Chain A
Amino acid sequence: MLDRRRFVADLLADRGDLLVVTGLGSATYDAAAAGDHPLNFYLWGAMGGALMIGLGLALARPDRRVTVITGDGDFLMGLGSLATVGVKQPNNLSVVVLDNGHYGETGMQASATQAGIDPVATALACRFKQACQVSRIEDAGAMRALLHSGEGPLLIHARIKSEDTPRVLPLRDGHAIKERFIAALKA
């Protein structure tokens, strides 16, 4: 099982011009802990919406790589959007599901992945070009390479430890997060 903070930090190391959308809760904190960046679009709500934001962005900017980093709760709420992504086949879109099998923000209640609902099989059934599971930190480098050059749409199912991590809170003002992102992307 992966240490989520170390895994996300490894994924985002030397990120170049990667565009990142983070799902609400711990995924947002993990990305912030890896280093605040203007090309991070942090979600603090809109649960279930992270992947669709990634799709709109990937369609708008086919010249850039887009990565959605989210938790199993947000992913499961937006399961239908895997089909929507599968129809459009954006080759520049990746999604990383940080799966601890729990709703961490609300008291660690079990999520559906803990009962065996399988993000990799779901993604492949939805015509993702590739999907894989990762649970060893030694594989983080290969996963990072997928984000930068793997053929999408692709999904990385990261099995992470369910331990509590300290909150690292980035910008919370939605207008500021959006305007900063747009300005950095135009620059």
Chain B
Amino acid sequence: MNWPDAIYAQFRRVGIRQVGYVPDAGHSRLITLCQNDPAIADVVLTTEEEGVGLVAGAALGGQRAALLMQSSGVGNCINMFSLLRNCGFGCVVLVTMRGEFGEFNPWQVPMGSITEDVLKLAGFLTHRIDIADDVGEVVGAGCDMAFDGNLQVAILLSQRLIGRKQWTR
């Protein structure tokens, strides 16, 4: 199983019903899988911080939600993350990393290099994955901790895992 399918299988297992995202190339297959699933409401966001509200609203209504974003999007969420901590909303964020391994675009580096630290400061448990075979197990464990314990969990999918962005046409 490739890694986006492994994430999707965990979404199915734990009953994710809403997925909010700002598109990222690394998440494109997972986004398509969610869009094609009638049990999942896919919500394209204008900015990642909207997803934090979406997660809270879903939980108030008895549904589990997950967020997909690129590392740059984490910075857009910081104040809104306070909603999750203040109220104890379980939340899983899957972050595709930019600005690290072999990054071509230096504009990605300032946010990419502080993404995990920012998440920790905001109260998230973080797991970083470099190997495709680890994805299913780690995402599954993260989802269980988030939804069983009303915790905030971020899973960083490293640029080495995703593959360096190809800039040649």
Interface residues of A (CB under 8 A from B): 19, 21, 41, 43-61, 78, 80-81, 83-84, 87-88, 174-175, 177-178, 181-182, 185-186
CA distance A19 to B87 in the complex (A): 18
Which segment, of B29-37, B54-62, B122-130, faces chain A? B54-62
Q: Say yes or no: A57 contacts B88, CB within 8 Å.
A: no
Q: Say yes or no: A57 contacts B86, CB within 8 Å.
A: no
Chain A residues whose CB sits within 8 angstroms of the CB of B58 once the complex forms: 56-57, 59-60
Chain A residues whose CB sits within 8 angstroms of the CB of B161 once the complex forms: none
CB distance from B23 to the nearest CB of A (A): 13
CB distance from A128 to the nearest CB of B (A): 15
Q: Say yes or no: B44 contacts A59, CB within 8 Å.
A: no
Chain A residues whose CB sits within 8 angstroms of the CB of B59 once the complex forms: 56, 178, 182
Query: Who on chain B is nearest to A186 by CB?
Result: B62
**Which of B17, B45, B53, B59 has its CB near the most chain A CB atoms (within 10 A)?**
B53
CA distance A55 to B65 in the complex (A): 12
Chain B residues whose CB sits within 8 angstroms of the CB of A47 once the complex forms: 79
Q: Say yes or no: A41 contacts B61, CB within 8 Å.
A: no
Q: Say yes or no: A59 contacts B18, CB within 8 Å.
A: yes
Chain A residues whose CB sits within 8 angstroms of the CB of B62 once the complex forms: 60-61, 182, 185-186
Given A56-B65, A88-B43: A50 and B60 within 8 A (CB)?
no
CA distance A174 to B82 in the complex (A): 10
Given A81-B46, A178-B87: A56 and B61 within 8 A (CB)?
yes
Chain A residues whose CB sits within 8 angstroms of the CB of B61 once the complex forms: 56-61, 185
B11 at the A interface (CB under 8 A): no
Q: Say yes or no: A80 contacts B46, CB within 8 Å.
A: yes
CB distance from A133 to the nearest CB of B (A): 24
Q: Say yes or no: A84 contacts B87, CB within 8 Å.
A: no
Q: Say yes or no: A84 contacts B88, CB within 8 Å.
A: no
Q: Say yes or no: A55 contacts B57, CB within 8 Å.
A: yes
State the majority secondary structure of interface residues on A.
helix
Query: Who on chain B is nearest to A78 by CB?
Result: B50
Query: Who on chain B is nearest to A87 by CB?
Result: B44
Q: Say yes or no: B41 contacts A88, CB within 8 Å.
A: yes
CA distance A59 to B87 in the complex (A): 20
Partner of A59, one of B41, B83, B86, B89: B41
Chain A residues whose CB sits within 8 angstroms of the CB of B53 once the complex forms: 46, 49-53, 55-56, 78, 81
Partner of A56, one of B56, B80, B87: B56
Within 8 A of A (CB), among B37-90: 41, 43-47, 49-63, 65, 79-80, 82-83, 86-89
CB distance from A87 to the nearest CB of B (A): 6
CB distance from A65 to the nearest CB of B (A): 12
CA distance A47 to B44 in the complex (A): 20
Partner of B50, one of A45, A58, A84, A181: A84
Query: Who on chain A is nearest to B51 by CB?
Result: A52
Partner of A21, one of B18, B49, B57: B57
Of the A-B pairs whose beta carbons lie under 8 Å apart in the complex, a sample of 8, sorted by A's number, is A46-B53, A46-B82, A53-B57, A56-B56, A56-B58, A60-B58, A78-B53, A80-B45
